[in-house]
Structure 1
Amino acid sequence: MSSVPTGTSANEPEHFTPLIITSISPDPVPVTGTDRKIYLVYELQVLNAAPRPATITSVDTLGGASGEILASLTGDQVVARSLLVADYALPPVPATTIPAGRTLLLVMDAAFDAAGSVPTSIVHRITATFGDFDPNQGDFALNNFPGRITQTGGAVSVGTGAPEVVAPPLAGPDWVAVNACCELSPHRGAMLPLDGRINGAERYAVDFAKFDLTAEPIVDLEKGTQASFSGDPDKNESYFAFGQPILAVADAEVVTVVQDLPEAPPHVFLQGLGVGELGGNHVVLKLRDGVYAFYGHLKTGSVTVAVGDRVQVGEQIAELGNSGNTSEAHLHFHLMNGPLPLTATNLPWVIDSFTWDGDVTPEKLLTATAGERTDELPLIYGAMTFPAVG
């Protein structure tokens, strides 16, 4: 197999660079996670313009100015962050190869130990191998498309500004971020063709579920159950999250209310949902121009506010339910720059004050990192306690 370097200078022959590597807007704004690291959350598009399937073997994240290797992914680490465009399986199915002519999305989360370590730009060096040629290719293609490449592309400029700071959307203990930054989850996999672009509609979204964190195991992998209910698992009322108060995260104006959609039975996904029904019963608050809060999967008929109302931070606006595209009662929460939850651009956000209880494993809660937190984004499989209502 031949190896082809990136780029073609005036002093070397032309050659094919079959991976077209670009970043997806917007520029990522640094956000602090509950592991105390600073994250740049973004995605890369990798179009395979070769007439043969591609397998990405490594991805190096480089400082855009220095060229220093900031992070590296290889083998299964690459696959775990790979998603084919036009593949809408739930949960997302990681892709091992890029068929000829198809585009892969790489879910990327560059992590830094301190704000001063975050560069102003980054770029990516991708190495890939290629399989057999698709049939009926011209002789020029058979002789000129390489079997292995290393290319550099996917330049990303680091965004300016800061994440939005909000109050907790819930109250009390034992909340767990079951879908959140920073890995390929149903949220990060929600890369949807909307408004003429591939939109990371749920890039910073969090699903908050309520657990019995004293249970061992917390997740029973053999039985396929988790300690999020007590009693009959076929009743929504058995789930600790169901009926919990939903709170305004800021002083805001109510711009959308939907509360007449039915509850789904636990672990039964409703069929035939339209795009506008995926979030189930929901409320959208306008915090200020260009900043909106979305609350999804609310309890049918529980919303206590109307469009045009003004709400105060900490005010109850609804109860948590199990409506829409959901497996069991949980709150889907995110911020965005417009009122439409899938079309708007997802915004980075942090919670102003809460107690971090630790990291949830299937076996038990690990409390080594527990403590009071300020202005942090809850990361996946983390447990937290929010201040009580009133």
Structure 2
Amino acid sequence: MGGLTQFGQGLILAAGLASSAVNTHAETAPIEAHAVFSPQIVSGSDALRHVAYELVLDNFYDSTGVLQLTGIDIFAAPSTKPLAHIGGSGLAAALPPGVELSADNSLSIKAGGHAVILIWLALPRDIAVPRVLSHRLEFKTQTGAVQTVDGVPVRIDTTPPIIIGPPVRGGLWFADEGPGNAQSHHWGGLIADNGQLTIPQRYAIDLFGLDAKGHAVAAPIDKLAQSRLTDWAGFDSEVLAVADGVVRDFQDGVPTHDPLAPQAPTNDLTPTSLYGNYVILEIAPNIFVHYAHLNTGSVAVKIGDRVKRGEILGHLGDTGQAGAPHLHIHLSNSVNFAGSEGLPFQIDAFNLVGRGTEGEALNAESDMHLSPGKGKPVHDAMPLNGDILEF
């Protein structure tokens, strides 16, 4: 949701193959570490296999003092050769929004405190899909001593991601705040509710319609706050069922607001409060598609309706917690928002026309160098953050 944050976007995890040397004299750090959710392997539009998961690190004892995380090595257990090393700028790119490294490129975890690392791992082509990933974490104490945590297993869920159709009809679309971007308000939006820590929007995408030159809005970039809804290329576009399914929840009648209009913050973590006008479609047991920010009066279905793939559910709007007209879409394991886990998905067919940044898409003066109708055909893959798609 949201769909408009800062112009531009950060590069996610620098997952090189360099490894840090193991210091056999390092002490064990008093850190409890675990994964939020077992990840699935998903094929990206970049033709790579990706794993997205989160490590929660708890500096357990009040007496420990501050621990500085300096790096993480990731292994395909039981191999001792790292798949990737996360440190420096890579560590900075794996932190939720608003969390920054210290001057020495380490992450401070205060005594009794915790940290969350969002890991976007590209699996090398020459290895089989691992069943378990293990991790070696290195810390510095306040006295400069090195401490480590070895192990931290993360089990891979071998269930293939669900394949869906396009959520919109035709045209060019910019995938904003999308998969692979830890600084997005989607993946970085961890929810602690009723004894659970979940990430409903782990793989969410905000789709902005683009004109033939790759621009989301016709207004000058310094006057976006004065733009009209009709200045936005995707406004009122048809929103489609991505698969056969049953409507489990919906809302209509929430007024459309002006682009970039200030939104009152809410602590009510429900679709009714967050999504504006929406549809939630169950397309398989415990697999739900959430469509948010639909145009007022456009929702064409009701609870219990059975719909077919490609059927019109509503039209793209600017309602709820949205910054400008766009379609927010994500899949999860619950009809609810809080307490649900975001699930990966792959779209069966689209053309990858190019890549860009939010700033470029919002700047009517930018040159996106696009060739509509001449994109790279992509099949059974997840669009990634910054992709420009043609359905």
TM bucket, shorter chain: 0.7 to 0.9
**The one of 31, 34, 38 aligned to 1:22:** 34
How far apart in 2 are the matches of 1:63 and 1:117? 9
How far apart in 2 are the matches of 1:150 and 1:254? 49
Name 1:76's counterpart in structure 2. Answer: 89
Counting only pairs closer than 5 Å after superposition, residues 197-236 of structure 1 correspond to structure 2 as: 197-212=196-211, 214=213, 227-231=215-219, 233=224, 234=226, 235-236=228-229
How far apart in 2 are the matches of 1:349 and 1:115? 23
How far apart in 2 are the matches of 1:343 and 1:188? 14
Q: 1:6 to 1:289 in 2, by over 3 A?
A: farther
Q: 1:237 to 1:366 in 2, by over 3 A?
A: closer
> What SS is found at the alignment partner of 2:85?
strand
**The one of 52, 72, 80 aligned to 1:41:** 52
Name 1:107's counterpart in structure 2. Answer: 118
Name 1:170's counterpart in structure 2. Answer: 168
| Aligned residues of 1:48 and 1:103 also touching (Cα < 8 A) | yes
Q: 1:54 to 1:65 in 2, by over 3 A?
A: same
Letter in 2 for 1:199: T
| Aligned residues of 1:20 and 1:48 also touching (Cα < 8 A) | yes
Deviation for aligned residue 1:311: 1.0
Counting only pairs closer than 5 Å after superposition, residues 1-390 of structure 1 correspond to structure 2 as: 17-25=29-37, 27-49=38-60, 51-83=64-96, 92-96=97-101, 97-114=108-125, 116-131=127-142, 147-184=145-182, 185-212=184-211, 214=213, 227-231=215-219, 233=224, 234=226, 235-273=228-266, 274-276=268-270, 277-361=273-357, 362=360, 364-365=367-368, 370-386=375-391
Deviation for aligned residue 1:256: 0.6
Q: Percent identity?
A: 27
Letter in 2 for 1:321: G
Letter in 2 for 1:229: V
| Aligned residues of 2:28 and 2:147 also touching (Cα < 8 A) | no
How far apart in 2 are the matches of 1:267 and 1:147? 49
Deviation for aligned residue 1:61: 0.7
Structure 1: gaps (5+ residues): 8-14, 84-91, 133-145, 216-226
- Of 273-282 and 356-365, more deviation after overlay is shown by 356-365
| Aligned residues of 2:28 and 2:149 also touching (Cα < 8 A) | no
Name 1:223's counterpart in structure 2. Answer: none
- Of 168-177 and 255-264, more deviation after overlay is shown by 255-264
Aligned residues: 344
| Aligned residues of 1:202 and 1:342 also touching (Cα < 8 A) | no
| Aligned residues of 2:56 and 2:115 also touching (Cα < 8 A) | yes
How far apart in 1 are the matches of 2:25 and 2:340? 35
Deviation for aligned residue 1:131: 3.5
> What SS is found at the alignment partner of 2:90?
helix
Deviation for aligned residue 1:200: 1.4
Give the aligned CA root-mean-square deviation in angstroms: 2.4
How far apart in 2 are the matches of 1:159 and 1:16? 29
Name 1:89's counterpart in structure 2. Answer: none
> What SS is found at the alignment partner of 1:114?
coil
| Aligned residues of 1:80 and 1:94 also touching (Cα < 8 A) | no
| Aligned residues of 1:107 and 1:183 also touching (Cα < 8 A) | no
Deviation for aligned residue 1:366: 6.4
> What SS is found at the alignment partner of 2:248?
strand
Q: 1:262 to 1:354 in 2, by over 3 A?
A: same
Deviation for aligned residue 1:294: 0.6
How far apart in 1 are the matches of 2:234 and 2:304? 28
| CA offsets 1:39-78 (integer angstroms, 9 cap, x no match) | 1111000112353222221111112111220011111211
Q: 1:115 to 1:175 in 2, by over 3 A?
A: farther
> What SS is found at the alignment partner of 1:314?
coil
| Aligned residues of 2:34 and 2:57 also touching (Cα < 8 A) | yes
> What SS is found at the alignment partner of 2:91?
helix
| CA offsets 1:108-134 (integer angstroms, 9 cap, x no match) | 1111243853211111111122337xx
Deviation for aligned residue 1:385: 0.5
| Aligned residues of 1:179 and 1:207 also touching (Cα < 8 A) | yes
Give the structure with higher Rg (CA). 1
Q: 1:107 to 1:238 in 2, by over 3 A?
A: same
Letter in 2 for 1:214: K
| Aligned residues of 1:269 and 1:326 also touching (Cα < 8 A) | no
How far apart in 2 are the matches of 1:179 and 1:328? 13
Query: TM-score, normalization: structure 1?
Result: 0.82
Q: 1:6 to 1:121 in 2, by over 3 A?
A: farther
Letter in 2 for 1:52: G
| CA offsets 1:298-348 (integer angstroms, 9 cap, x no match) | 112210111111111101110111112121111111111221133222211
How far apart in 2 are the matches of 1:364 and 1:57? 39
| CA offsets 1:126-166 (integer angstroms, 9 cap, x no match) | 1122337xxxxxxxxxxxxx732122233111112200001
| CA offsets 1:324-376 (integer angstroms, 9 cap, x no match) | 21211111111112211332222111101111112114464467994111110
How far apart in 2 are the matches of 1:77 and 1:336? 28
